Structure formats: structure tokens, C-alpha cells
Chain A
Amino acid sequence: MPGQRVFLHSRTLPVRMVAPSLKLQDLIEEIRGAKTQAQEREVIQKECAHIRASFRDGDPVHRHRQLAKLLYVHMLGYPAHFGQMECLKLIASSRFTDKRVGYLGAMLLLDERHDAHLLITNSIKNDLSQGIQPVQGLALCTLSTMGSAEMCRDLAPEVEKLLLQPSPYVRKKAILTAVHMIRKVPELSSVFLPPCVHLLHERHHGKAVGLPILCFSSVDRRIENRMGTPAHRRRVAHTHRHTRNRLSCPWPPPFTSPTLTPGILLGTITLITELCERSPAALKHFRKVVPQLVQILRTLVTTGYSTEHSISGVSDPFLQVQILRLLRILGRNHEESSETMNDLLAQVATNTDTSRNAGNAVLFETVLTIMDIHSAAGLRVLAVNILGRFLLNSDRNIRYVALTSLLRLVQSDHSAVQRHRPTVVDCLQETDASLSRRALELSLALVNSSNVRAMMQELQAFLESCPPDLRADCASGILLAAERFAPTKRWHIDTILHVLTTAGTHVRDDAVANLTQLIGGAQELHAYSVRRLYNALAEDISQQPLVQVAAWCIGEYGDLLLEGNCEEIEPLQVDEEEVLALLEKVLQSHMSLPATRGYALTALMKLSTRLQGDNNRIRQVVSIYRSCLDVELQQRAVEYDTLFRKYDHMRAAILEKMPLVERDGPQADEEAKQSKEAAQLSEAAPAPTESQASQLLDLLDLLDRASGDAQHPPPLDPSPGGALVYLLDLPCAPPPPAPIPDLKVFEREGVQLNLSFIRPPENPALLLITITATNSSEGDVTNFICQAAVPKSLQLQLQAPSGNTVPARGGLPITQLFRILNPNKAPLRLKLRLTYNHFHQSVQEIFEVNNLPVESWQ
């Protein structure tokens, strides 16, 4: 019975309850009073049981209280789905309290993933047409928060009607609801475009009905004062009479008076922005109102309109920012509009008070707008300077936005940003991680050939002291910049060396290959390099990349090391035994990676021809490693030992100095810039390091597979024991003009994948690839799926495969046809992903096909 309260404190009481158990406040207190998670859970479970029972009993009086409690519990993260239907009931009730809580519940508990949300559409429709403003407000608010596409489509006519209603309170909400609807259902743009136009023009003709900010368009303060005259007020009252009568209860002036609520202008601008972003037709239309917008903003900035809308001296910064944003969209790629805005933007940029955040917010938006439209060069420089000033601001947030914006601008306005380089470099010292990271990115972007030495010094100093998560980025950034702008080879080598000693463990895997290649190419610096590396190695053998390079160098240029003469460093007296001892130390150290030990062993071997003394020590070491547990080392040691014993006459020739190896020159730089993880195809390192297998990031990444899938030569070897059927081998098939050789691309435990290519002569852009999967193993291959990907400039169509099972022992293969359209004759790259079950295991292989025949795309 309503009104009666029964306090339940024990579970043994009958479950049938008509009275509420705890008030919301009491529940919250009890939950907060719980000392442990378990206790809290208990309280909540108990209360939820009460709430559920109350919902079941259908008590209408206290339903809103129960739902409020449920919402609190939901905010804490506990399940509350059983309240969804209650929200619907509350919304349908005619009591305002119920509606308020019901709509809040709908916004929190219902969402468009569950079909239940559509049930409130009808209630919203009723409430929207009811004419009670707060209720309409609730409905609009809910619609714009959780309205799904279906709901928006259904309710668009209702909202459209409300857009032109006299009451500003409802109107401004309707406008913003329209914004949400357009986001959900872009086709509704056509519905909301005409009212929008009307809204903007209505202000223009000075009609004060419900649109207070009308006064801004071409008006000054005098007219604003005139709005307050009794005559005008009477006129307005007359127009509003019918509305007032409907709301005779508690609706005093604020909701019907036209002198307040500039929310409508703000809403209108937001709606226009959304329309212009979605529809090019709208964009074209609204370009015509640029002069009006400029005028509004100008008036806002110069005269302002009321203190209640301004924040620390800046008139209505929210409105200013919104107008600037719209101007940005209208002026983008449009000379004429941009020109109209230039003066205004300059004015705002120079006149805004920047002592508080509000002013800086407006200034920031102005800068963003200037940079995005076709502004005059001087204006752009002004904008960059503003950002530079932001960098010196004591507020961290402002420095943050400055850094992110400058990062976006550094490509297009490089010289303007360069002027602020010292400030940016100072920002490296920021304690805040997000700031120092951006400062690092920006600094790296600012390096060019004229400032490279100074910048590198700063960056290297930073590398020594920077936090560990930035080390990798900093190191690779320095190395990249050094590669692009190194003034001299020696400087380059020094820089890389420094990076390797400071942050050796954080460098990218190809740093070793790069350095060895670089050193190899700089003949005049061999002596210098080997000495420096020797010194570095002697100091510290823990930094693996450094050790690898040093080992390689010592192996190659050991003779220069022992010569003792080098002008560029102090003379170093090294004797052979020391060198060998050092290499042995590397070999034996538990810190050395297997790859490093491989380097060291090979270096030792090379020294056997470079050093004068006898080779007994080296022979001893090599022979010990013949029984090493590491297979790679064992293999090397055995081979080298054999070299000593049986092929000694060839040893000198085999261990000669390596010729300079070619690598993909400038192309590699582009790749490195575009995708950080692209492993470079460098063959400089004589021993491939395991770490060359890089991660799969995007379509064009190259994946090295140790098993060398794609290394097989085009002509196919018939696989043992299986009858293989290749479509192109059938003699009756009409031979294409120049048959492209087939390619075996994959083999694993008897499962093989082959590609065969056809270029139909009538369509040169088309390439047909047939993949054939065969199985010579003892186990069936099931659930075989092959997916493929090609670069964006090509089109790929996969036809259905012939099946997805390949029986064992050479059973019927699966074939699948790929159609590739390559109108631009772009180089073909193909990445395949195979998934299948074999020997009761699920296999997934992802790899790029190498050695694709050139005829397939030329």
C-alpha cells in the first residue's frame, strides 16, 4: 500500500513487499559503509532482490525510487538489465517525477544493441507532441543521447516540427537533437536543411520571436536595449500568449522570454556545421552565409553582449569556438570564403585576452582555422607564432596542444615551425611523459641538414637521460635522422656508435646491418672504426648490437687494428693475444645472444688469416665449439674446423675481406619512414640474425621466414610420393602467349601450396592466379581456408574454393581462383593467410609471397 513503510532487515520476512525497503540515501550510505568488496556485494544483492520483487509486484508509487536505487547500483558496475522494462513504464507514466527518473534510466540502461530500446519510441513521440516543455526537454535529451538510427528515422518529423516552435527552450534542444539524428542517419540532412536555413534567416530579418541572438547580425547594442521596451515586450507577449496558456502552471518568463537563451544560435551553428560536414550541397549553400558569420563573430569579439555568457572577459567562448569551427569547414579549399575571413581571424588572433584558458581556447581554435583554410602567408606565420608562444605558457595543457598542433604543421609550414626550434628542444626536458614524447617527435621532425649537428647533440644528450619507454623511439629517430642528414661519414659512424653504446638494447634490428654496411663502404675509416669499436667492446660486452658490429669489424679489419697507426685517435697498442682473448670472452659470456656468438666465432676465424702469429689458439677454440649444444655454432665450428684441416689452401681466399654489399638505397628510407616496422632487405650481415623476423603490422610488411618458403625456384619439383595436378600442365589447355612459370610458395609437413598464373591476352590488366593445395602427408588437411591480400592499388576477387579438405597421401587437391585487376601495372605483392587443421592441430600461416614472376604484372 502506498504510504506505508516496512523496513526489512531479515531475509526470513515474506518476499511479498509493497513498501520500499531502503531510501536511496540510506542505500548509498550502507554501500559506502561496507568495509570489503564482499560486504558491498552482499548489500547490493540484497537490495537488488528487493528491487526485483518490487518491480514484479508492480508498485507504481515507488517505482521511481526503486529505479533510482538501481541506477546507483548500475553506476557501481553491477548488472541492472532487469530495470529496463521499468524505465519504459516510468516514461509512460504521466507523473513528472516518474518521467524524469524513467528517462534517465533509459539513457543509462537501454542502448541500441538491444531491441528493447525501440519500445520507448512511442512514448517519446507522445511526449514530444504533448507541449509540456520540461517533458519535451526530457524526451529530446533522451533521443539525442541513445537514439538509434531507427528511432531517429521514426521521430524525425516530430523533431522537425519542434524546430520552428516559438519556445526557445524546446527549440534549442530540438536543434541539437537534429544534430544527433543527422549523425545517425545522414539521409536526414535533407529534412533538416530547410529549417536550418530558415532559422538562420529568421534571425536575419530581425524577427525576435524566440530567437534572441537575432540582434547580432547587423545590429549593435542600441537595438539590444530596444528589446527591453514595453512596446516590444507587449508584442512578444501577444505572440506567446497561446503558448503561455498551455503552460499556465509553473512556467515563468525564462522559458518563454525571447531575451535570453542564445543557445539557439549556438545550436544552429552546430547543426549547420554537421550538415556541411556531411553534405557537399549544404556546404555550397552555407558558404553564402560566411559574411554573416564573420559579422556575428566580429560583434561578439568587439562588443560582447552580456556578462552572463562571458568567461573571464572573453564573450561566450563556446559560441566563438563553434563559429570558428564552422568557418574552418566553410573556408577549406575555397579561396573566396577564406579571403572573407582573413581580417576577422587576424583580429581575433590579436585581440583575444590570453591570460586565462578561455581566451587561449578561442585563440587555439583560431589557429586551427587559419591553418586549415587558404589564408594569407602572413596569417599562417602569425598562427605558428601563437603556437610558439603557447609553448612557453606555464600551463601544461596549453603546451600540450601547442606540441600536437605544431606536429601537424611541421610538414606544411616547416620554416615557420623551425623558428621555434629552441623552445621545442627545451620541451624535451618536460617531466610529463606525454609532453616529452611529443617534444621528441617534433624535434626529430625538425632536423634538417643545416641544424643536424646541433640537434643531434641535444637528442643524444636526451637519449642518455630519457625515460625507458622513449628510448627506442629516440634511438631509432636519431639513427634515421643521421642517415638522412649526416654531414660526413665519420660523424655518421660516431653517431651510430654513440647510440649503440647508450641505448644499444633499444635499437631496431637493422641497425647492426646498417652500421656494418656503412663501415664497409667507408674504406678510409676502417682503421678508425675498428679502433673505436675495439675500445668500446673492451669496455662493455653487454650491448648486443654493439658487440655484433664490433666483432664483425674486428674480424674484417683486424690487421688494421694491430697496425697501431691512426691519426684520428690516440695510438693504441694492441697485441694479438688481447684481441683473441676479447673475442673469446664474447663467445663465452652468458650475456651474448646466440647470434652474437656466431659473429664472434666467424670473426675469430677471419683473424686466422689477418694476424701474423700462429693459429693454434684459434684452432683450439674452433675445435671446442664443434660439440657446442647450439646447432648454429656447432655447424660453423665444424665447417671452420674442416677448413683448417682439409681445405687449408683455400682458407685465405675464403676469408678474404668482404666486398661491399649493395642494399636498397634511398628506397629503404621511404619504407622506413612509412612503416616503422619494415625490415630492410639488407644482406650486409653475413650471419642472419634471428631477430630479423619482424612483426606483422600492415599489408606491405615483409615477413622473413626462417624456412624460406618463397626461396624455391619457379620450376616445380614434384613432391615425393604424390601425384600433383597442375592446371597449366594439362596439354589440352590452350597455352597462353608466354606461359608464366608456376611458383611454389608454401610447404609444411607435406602440405604444399602452389601458385600458377595466367594473363588472358584480351585483358592485359587481369591476372588469374590459381592456388593449389596438395597434401602428401599421412594426415588429412581439413577446414582449409586461404585468404589473400594485395596492395591498395590492385583489386582482388577470390572465387569460392573447390573444397576445404585435402585428403592425405596425395588426395584431391583444393584449387581456388584469384582474379587480380592491375590496371596501373603496379608491382604485384601478395600476402596469403592459410588456416587449416592438420594432425589434430590448427595451423595458421601468414606470409608474403616473394619472387613473384615479373611477367605477372608487367
Chain B
Amino acid sequence: YASLYFCCAIEDQDNELITLEIIHRYVELLDKYFGSVCELDIIFNFEKAYFILDEFLLGGEVQETSKKNVLKAIEQADLLQEKTETMYHSKSFIGFKKAY
């Protein structure tokens, strides 16, 4: 992860070493998602970087400690996005119904 730098703001009673692990885990998630992540990946896909972060941390706390689960959640969300895009652009699209 050559050219990536991360800053994290924590409270003074927080454990600094586990924060390092959090950063490391996040980078691993990005790496898995983008495949050998580099600076450009994050720049050109910044919204994805945010989405991944939002599956890993919530309100400043770790929400999911399994790499697999985080990546699966992102995958599902991406799938949903793709599906709705194709639905949206197809001719038969009328409106978005709640029931899938």
C-alpha cells in the first residue's frame, strides 16, 4: 500500500493500537474490493470507498469484524444498484414499487 496515508481521529481514552488495526482492516477491505488498491482507485471511486467504510464502521464504532461479511454487504448493495439501473432504463419501467 505504497502511496496511501490514513488519518484517524480518536478520543483520548481510545486504544491507539486497535485503531491501527482498524485502519489496516479498512485498507484490506479496499484492497479486496478494488484488487491491489492504489491511490487512483480511491480517487476515482471515492463514493465506493465511503460505502465500504460505512459497512465497516458506523457512528465511529466497528460494526462488523468479519471481512467476508463486509465485502458481501457491499456486493449485495452493488448488485441492487445494478439491478435497479437496468430496470430503470428498460422500456417497461413505470415506477418503482416497494415489493421487489
Contact = CB atoms under 8 A, between A and B. Distances in A.
A218 to B, nearest CB: 22
Interface string A665-702: 00000000000000000000000000000000000000
A252 B77 CA distance: 12
Interface in A357-398: 357-358, 360-362, 364-365, 368, 397-398
A308 interface: yes
A519 to B, nearest CB: 43
B97 to A, nearest CB: 8
A107 B24 CA distance: 24
A78 to B, nearest CB: 15
A358 B46 contact: no
B61 A270 contact: yes
B57 to A, nearest CB: 9
Interface stretch (A175-183, A617-625, A770-778, A849-857): A175-183
A180 B47 contact: no
A663 interface: no
Contacts of A131: 98
Q: Is the interface of B mostly helix, strand, loop or mixed?
A: helix
30 contacts: A68-B47, A75-B46, A94-B95, A94-B96, A97-B85, A100-B81, A131-B98, A134-B76, A134-B77, A144-B59, A176-B58, A176-B59, A176-B63, A177-B58, A180-B60, A251-B76, A262-B66, A263-B63, A263-B66, A267-B63, A308-B67, A311-B25, A317-B18, A318-B62, A357-B17, A361-B21, A362-B18, A397-B16, A397-B17, A397-B20
Contacts of B81: 96-97, 100
B61 A316 contact: no
Contacts of A32: 43
Given A144-B59, A261-B69, A96 B80 contact: yes
A188 to B, nearest CB: 14
Contacts of B20: 357, 361, 397
Contacts of A94: 95-96, 98
Contacts of B72: 254
Interface in A5-51: 25, 28, 32
Contacts of B46: 71-72, 75
Given A177-B58, A357-B20, A364-B17, A260 B80 contact: no
A203 interface: no
Contacts of B77: 96, 100, 134, 137
B17 A401 contact: yes
Interface string B1-27: 000000000000001111011101100
Contact of B54 (A95, A141, A397): A141
B26 to A, nearest CB: 12
A270 B60 CA distance: 11
A-B pairs, top 3 by smallest CB distance, nearest first, are A249-B100, A144-B59, A361-B17
Interface in B36-90: 43-44, 46-47, 50-51, 54-55, 58-69, 72-73, 76-77, 79-81, 83-85, 88-89
Contact of B73 (A169, A250, A365): A169
A276 to B, nearest CB: 14
Interface in A212-244: none
Interface string A280-311: 00000000000000000000000000101101
Given A94-B96, A144-B58, A169-B73, A321 B65 contact: no
Given A261-B64, A319-B65, A250 B80 contact: yes
A811 B61 CA distance: 64
Contacts of B55: 137
A316 B65 contact: yes
A622 B61 CA distance: 74
Contacts of A400: 16
A130 to B, nearest CB: 7
A368 B68 CA distance: 31
Contacts of A401: 16-17
A247 interface: yes
A255 interface: yes
A265 to B, nearest CB: 9
A841 interface: no
A551 interface: no
A475 interface: no
A179 B57 CA distance: 13
B15 A266 contact: no
Contacts of A130: 98
Nearest to B79: A250
Given A101-B47, A254-B76, A179 B17 contact: no
A799 interface: no
A172 B47 CA distance: 23
B18 A365 contact: yes
Nearest to A141: B54
A59 to B, nearest CB: 14
Nearest to B59: A144
Contacts of A141: 54, 58
B83 A104 contact: no
Interface in A326-364: 357-358, 360-362, 364
Interface string A147-177: 0000000000000000000000100110011
Contacts of B15: 321, 325, 361, 364-365, 368
B68 A308 contact: yes
Given A145-B59, A357-B17, A357-B21, 4 more contacts: A96-B77, A100-B77, A137-B77, A318-B22
Interface centre among A107, A318, A365, A400 (most CB of B within 10 A): A318
B14 to A, nearest CB: 9
Contacts of B63: 172-173, 176, 263, 266-267
Contacts of B79: 250
Contacts of A144: 58-59
B88 to A, nearest CB: 6
